[in-house]
Amino acid sequence: MRIEHAWPNLEQGSINFAAVVAGVAALGSFFSSQRHPQEENLKKHCVSILELAYSTPASAIDLDSISGQILRTLYARLTTRPAVAYLASHNAMHMVEIMGLHALFSAPSTHNLSEKVGLGTEEIKERRMLYWTASFLDHLLSIEYGMTPVALSKISNAHTASHEESSNEYILSSLTKALVSIQQASKDPAGTTIIDETLHQLGQVPSPSPIASSFKAEVCLCLLRQSPINLLARNGNPASVSILKKALQAIPELLLAKQPWWCLSTVPFQTVCVCLAADTPLYLSLLPESMVALRAVADTFDSHMTREALRTAQQLIEASRENTMSKLSFKSSALGEDSATANTEATWLTDEQAPDLLGSWPLDLDFIPYFE
């Protein structure tokens, strides 16, 4: 293995690889049942090495430095505000540009490309996977934070591997292209049609693991949030419901493995918000399962963020129910039914009861602090 050969002179001869090793170790500690006492120092060591690329002229930018930035992005998104992870993902994409990884999609197969650029097929696969991983994270975090992703090439037209050739590349490229369609839809008069078609295509993307189902649901929710509420309520999208349902069903497996991915809270919470906004039986059918998942997350990872997510979701559902009951009472009165028991005024939450949406925590519930 590479680490066996590099370990004796890791800090001298393979400095960027040392950042990768430190980043993997920090993430491994984060996901373990017992956090390592040196986890913070490992993270800082990884970051300090990666920062050399900006401050030391002799520091080389290579595939390891891109891998290190991707690891830094993941760790930041898991442990701190999305703005930090967003900046790290941008750094990764700029290194991708410097290395020219975005130029590796000019041929339909790695074999044809290998002959064209003079690289081995395995090295081309590695570089393309780095590109799609960095691009997916950058687009996802940019949309979450309301910012603009780094655009290096026309991703929607890029040649990518089929599912049979490379399932991981196929899944990552499909999810990334779905996120890119959001930008295209915002500039196109037929934007709602683009989003609807993308949701149907997203439903065909395989999700072979629980975390794949969760990230697929994250992309689905990004698309749904761009859909006009009136069209979402009128037309709905069964493919999106299937995607979200599968992700909610995958949460217990991730909880059992004690894997505190950020989507454990964002997927059920944002599903609640989308369901209440659409307010149709198609989407409201997801509410019970979303709340069960959110309660399980709060029970397993008991933190301020998870408790706040659960409390806010409950208050939103209660407010929506009161609004529904108020509408029902007017309809009952119109039919001549007993108005004495009809509630003609909705009971809204007071300022003290309402969730602090502008307080110290972000709207997308950006992380789950891990508790042993």
Of all residues in the chain, the percent with pLDDT exceeding 70 is: 80
What whole-number distance in Å separates Cα of residue 44 and Cα of residue 214?
28
Q: What was the pLDDT predicted at 228?
A: 76
- In order of 37, 54, 243, 306, 326, the CA distances from 250 in angstroms are 31, 40, 11, 18, 36
Q: Has residue 68 got a pLDDT over 60?
A: yes
How far apart CA 92 and CA 35 sit, in angstroms, is: 27
pLDDT tens digits, one per residue of 300-322: 999 888 999 999 999 999 999 99
Q: Using a CB cutoff of 8 Å and minimum separation of 24, what contacts does 226-229 make?
A: 226/182, 226/185, 226/186, 226/191, 226/195, 227/192, 227/195, 227/196, 228/192, 229/277, 229/278
Residue 372 confidence (pLDDT): 37
**Cα torsion 246, 249, 254, 257: sign:** negative
At 126, the pLDDT band (50, 70, 90 cuts) reads: confident
- pLDDT: is 18 or 165 the higher one? 18
Backbone angles phi, psi at 3, to 5 degrees: -65, -30
Judge whether residue 17 has pLDDT over 80: yes
**What is the reported pTM?**
0.83
pLDDT band at 369 (very low <50, low <70, confident <90, very high): very low
Q: Which residue has the tokens 């991707």?
A: 70
**324-367: per-residue pLDDT in tens?**
999 888 888 898 886 555 454 545 445 455 444 334 334 444 44
pLDDT tens track for 194-248? 888 999 999 999 999 999 999 999 999 999 988 777 667 677 789 999 999 999 9
Average pLDDT, whole number, for the chain? 83
Please report, rounded to a whole number, the percentage of residues in the chain having pLDDT higher than 90: 49
Contact yes or no for 265/305 (Cβ under 8 A): yes
CB atoms within 10 A of CB 330: 12
The first and second tokens of residue 344, run together, are 């003609």
What does the pLDDT average to over 86-92?
93
Please give the pLDDT value at position 361.
Answer: 39
The reported pLDDT for the residue numbered 294 is: 96
Q: How far apart are CA 235 and CA 343, in angstroms?
A: 30
The structural domains of the chain, with segments of one domain joined by +, span 1-187, 191-372
Would you state the structure tokens that stand for residue 254, as one six-digit string? 């991730």
